[in-house]
Every structure is written in C-alpha cells, then in structure tokens.
Amino acid sequence: MAEVNNESAQVGLLAKSGVEQFPKDIRFYKFLASHLVKKGEHIEAIKYLSLALALEPKNVETLVSIGNALENWGKPHDAIGFYQAALGIDPKNLAAISNLIHLSMAESDWSFFPKLPEMLKTLNLGKSFGNPFNLLAVTDDPAMHRVNLAERDRLLKKNVLKNEKFPAKGTAGDKIRIGYFSSDFHSHATMFLLGKFFENHDRDRFEVYLYDLQRPEESAKAREVRDAADHYVPVATLTDKEVAERARADGLDIAVDMKGFTKGSRPVIFGHRAAPIQVSYLGFPGTTGISAMDYFLADNVTVPANKRRFFVEKIMYMPDCYQVNDNTRSHPDAIPTRTELGLPEDKFVFCSLNNSYKVTPVEYDIWMRLLHAVPDSVLWLLAANDYVQKNLIDEAAARGIGPERLFFAGRVSTTAHLARLPQADLFLDTFNCCAHTTASETLWSGVPLITKPGDQFASRVAASILTAIGCEDLITDSAENYYDLALKLAQDPKALAEIKQRLKDNLWTTPLYDSEAYIRNFENLMEKAVERQRSGKAPGHLSLTPDETFAAKQGQTT
C-alpha cells in the first residue's frame, strides 16, 4: 500500500513539474488532470483541464476529458455540454458520441435520436464503442457489438505482455478453487440478487475466494458478503497484472468476472489470465469480446443456439434461468398505500420502473397510445432527477398526453422499492435493454410484466425470467402484440387477476426462485468445465444432462 501511494505521489510531482516547466504544452495539463481524477480530486483536475482549454479552445480531447471528469465527479448533466461542444468541432469523435448517447439517455433526452443512425455508423466504422455498456439501450445489434469488441480485444492483447497458459492439472475429487471478481461486494443490487449464493456453495467441492476491486466498504451487507467466503482478498490497490498474479498464486481453478464493462470493471485482469478457466457472469449482458474469456453463463432463452455466434466465449447453459435469485428475501411487512406513494387510488397503474437510460421513443410511443386507449390509467416511471421528469413530461405532451397522467418514483432502498412495487397493476418492459434485476423484483412482488425480446442478450433476460416462473404468455414477439396484450390486461380485470394468481402460485413451485437448485446446477456446470480443462480439452459449449440437473422441487413451500 505504501509503495502504491509513493508511486502515485511521484507521478503527481512529475506531472506538476511538467506543467511548471512547459506552461504552454497542454499534454502536461492533461497528464496531471488524469492523475488527479484517479485520486478523486475532480475540482483540481477540471482546473488544470480548463487551463489547457484556454490554451487550445478547440482541442477536442480536452473537451472530452472535462466531460469525463465531470461525469466521474457525479455531474453528468454538466458533462453533456462538453461532449456536445466536442462533437461540434469533430462530429466523428468516438468517445464523445458514446458518452453523449449514454448520458442523454440517462436523462431521457432524446434530442440526439435523429442523428443516432449516423452516430452508430461512425462508431461502427471506427471500431470503438467507448464503453460498450453505453449503447445497449439504443441498438439491438449483437453482431455490431461483437465486431467492435474485437478491436478492443486486439488492443487488450497488445498491452498484455504475456497471456499465461495453464497446463492441465488436478485430479478428480480435488476441491475446486473458484474466485469471484467484483467491485460490488456491498449493498448493491447484484448482491441482493445473489443472496446466500456464496454461503451456499458446497464446501466439500468448492473453496470460495472473493477479489474485491474496490476499497472495502464497512456496512452490514458488505461484512455479510465477506463472511460468506473462505477467502476475502482486497485488491483495489493492485495493478491489473498484480491482481492476476495474486489469483494465480492462490491457485484458482476458475476466475469469475462479475463486472464485464459495468462501472468498476477491470477486464485487463482477465487479459493477463487469473485462472485456467475464466467465466463472464451476471454483470455485463453480452459478450466481453475478450478472447481470454472462456465461458459466458446463460440459458436457452437468453442465448439460443442460433445466437451463439454473437459471443467469443463458449456458452455455459443453466437448465433454467441464468439469473440467480434469493428465495430467503422477505416480502415487505407493510405496503404503502397509493396515496402515500403519490399515486391515484382509482386508476389503472401502468408502470415501467426500469432505469431511465433504457427507455427509448419506441416504447414511449406505445405507452402513450395505451394511455390514450385507457382513459382511466396512469403511467408510473422511475425518475432519478428533475431532468428526467421534465423531459418525459415534454415527450408525453408531444404525444397528446398531459402531465396529470404521469407519476414519478425516485430512487429508494431495495426494501422500500419492493414495498412500493405491489401498487402497480402492470409492468411495461423496455425493448433493447429490458428489465433484469427489476424483472425479478417485479414478479416477486406479484406484478405481471410484459416483455418483447430482441436479438441481443440484454433484450432477452426478462423473457428468460418469465419462462422460469411459468408465465411465457407474457412474452410477445412484436411491438404491436406487446401493445395488444397490455391493452387486453388493462381492460380485462379477470384475465389480469388470473395471471396475478398464477404468479403467486408459481413463486415456490417453479425454478426462478429455487436458490438451492440454482447453486447446485451452477456448481455442476463449473465442475464440468474443470473436468474438461483437466483432461486437456479446449473450452466448449456446456450444458447439463437430465441426470446432472438438480431439478426444482415441485410444491416447495417456505
């Protein structure tokens, strides 16, 4: 730790010295600003970037860097203006395009949509998405994602001096050392999905390591997660190469990346190879594009055989839904009334409590049509800030719907969110990037959800979840059928009540919330991958036979 701090201090001194010696060379200002951002000193970073911009007012890289610093500082709305300014000078700047799209979507600002086809064409020709996560909500094109991620993989391999090779080792019966890499080992939505997943690993077969990519958080949930592992390894201060070396020294058989390209990810670790088997799991809804990533955990709905071509990884097929769920999660003791939530008591409540960045004009057009067709209805949406509310109200007005038909939910704790969900009548899913954790929470709360899967994994998760709870009839195959089904359920109380009762009945008798079956099937797949590696075989698509599958218990109760 002291060595890392000393090295950081030396970098800072070197950068400052460069600014002082070469006050008209903006490279030193940007170098110093980059160092300050990594330290979390955003105001100081922006100060030096502003000085650089004063020297070269039309430097696109500086404008993008200021936008990045503002975004990292938690001021995304201010960052948007700098990305727009960068594109005003260079309309083909890849980073500005990618970041502008994502931040605009997060505010439900769709003003860029007329330019979206040209933006996507530019990104495609440039073979770079910036952050691949940024585009999941605006294009359902998994082929485009794979092609562009190939360039990222090429650059990754260029910067990895040696991709470690592992000879076949171990024998049948050896305990499997499995390591999970994440920056979310705290009060994060992923940990609430996992529940007792780490604790429930069979310790006769597995030894569990957690590699924490962020500084340990001191909270009850963080301590609970750490205590569930055999080994907790904080690695936030290590370089990517050092993390991989530490994992190899620990003798891991399997390294599980739970981040992909989401916030806090460190994919270069896996470029260096942390284990002989590397698996992408749960964090990023699509291929990593990393040739050193051996497997991607999915199921037959999210990645049917005809969509494997969009992945560089081989697919590990869970027998039911790939998404883990916690059946020990309690249902709320008290449900707030609609009045307490600011909702009308006597209206049909459509809701879509997905993150704002997932909502596009395509879904919104349909939702507004539904409000026109069902006069005694309202739409309940998630809005993290005033920008989202204003933009969604303006978009509704443009479609002939007044603000009195829209209601907004702010961000609350997971407990409070689960308590408010039952007050919705019907959940309307988004298309390109559908509900994932939110889908499980919605069904757990007894609220039906209508989805329309597309081609990419991110669009197919809710369909997988609905299949695993026996509600395949809520999966539609076109935008028009999606609209028709939503309209029918809003106008047919008997049909809606039947589905709600089925959800309640299926909660304990279908695979979705059978946490015990899930962990056993997950372990069986991992064991199968290890056996394959130890016998000297290359990774291949894996699934469990009926004899290898731990079947969900029918009629289970709690």
What per-residue confidence (pLDDT) applies to 551? Answer: 67
CB 280 within 8 Å of CB 289? no
What per-residue confidence (pLDDT) applies to 136? Answer: 93
Alpha-carbon gap, residue 178 to 526, rounded angstroms = 9
Query: What amino acid occupies position 426?
Result: L
Q: Which residues of 194-227 are buried (b: 16+ CB within 10 A; e: fewer)?
A: bbbbbebbeeebbbbbbbbbeeebeeeebebbbe
- Token digits of residue 246: 């530490």
Alpha-carbon gap, residue 51 to 57, rounded angstroms = 10
Q: For residue 332, what is the DSSP state?
A: P
Alpha-carbon gap, residue 15 to 33, rounded angstroms = 9
Query: What amino acid occupies position 551?
Result: A
Q: How many CB atoms lie within 10 A of CB 519?
A: 22
Alpha-carbon gap, residue 489 to 486, rounded angstroms = 5
CB 99 within 8 Å of CB 79? yes
What per-residue confidence (pLDDT) applies to 11? Answer: 61
What per-residue confidence (pLDDT) applies to 42? Answer: 93
CB 391 within 8 Å of CB 504? no
CA nearest to 222, candidates 209, 208, 232, 230: 232
- Token digits of residue 305: 């055989």
Q: For residue 549, what is the DSSP state?
A: -
CA nearest to 190, candidates 220, 217, 225: 225
Q: Which residues of 441-461 are buried (b: 16+ CB within 10 A; e: fewer)?
A: bbbbbbbbbbbbbbebbbbbb
Print pLDDT tens along the chain (558 aa). 444 455 556 666 776 887 888 888 889 888 889 889 888 899 999 999 999 999 999 999 999 999 999 999 999 999 999 999 999 999 999 999 999 999 999 999 999 999 999 999 998 887 665 678 888 999 999 988 787 777 677 767 766 766 677 766 666 668 999 999 999 999 888 898 899 999 999 999 999 999 999 988 888 899 999 999 999 999 999 999 999 999 999 999 999 999 988 888 999 999 999 999 999 999 899 999 999 999 999 999 999 999 999 999 999 999 999 999 999 888 888 999 999 999 999 999 999 999 999 999 999 999 999 999 999 999 999 999 999 999 999 999 999 999 999 999 999 988 899 999 999 999 999 999 999 999 999 999 999 999 999 999 999 999 999 999 999 999 999 999 999 999 999 999 999 999 999 999 999 999 999 999 999 999 999 999 999 999 999 999 999 999 999 864 433 333
List phi, psi (to 5°) of 182.
Answer: -160, 160
What per-residue confidence (pLDDT) applies to 144? Answer: 84
CB 516 within 8 Å of CB 491? no
Strand partners, 351: 380, 427
CB 118 within 8 Å of CB 126? no
DSSP secondary structure of 18-50: HHHH-TT-HHHHHHHHHHHHHTT-HHHHHHHHH
Domains and CATH numbers, the chain: 2-134 (1.25.40.10), 161-327+517-558 (3.40.50.11380), 338-507 (3.40.50.2000)
State how far the alpha carbon of 4 is from the alpha carbons of 11, 235, 363, in Å.
11, 12, 48
SS3 316: strand
Alpha-carbon gap, residue 343 to 358, rounded angstroms = 23
CA nearest to 331, candidates 499, 445, 187, 413: 445
- Token digits of residue 120: 């996507």
CA 151 vs. chain centroid, Å, equals 21
Alpha-carbon gap, residue 210 to 236, rounded angstroms = 12
Tell me the Ramachandran region of residue 333: left when phi exceeds 0, alpha when psi lies from -120 to 50, beta otherwise.
alpha
Alpha-carbon gap, residue 407 to 388, rounded angstroms = 12
CB 297 within 8 Å of CB 519? no
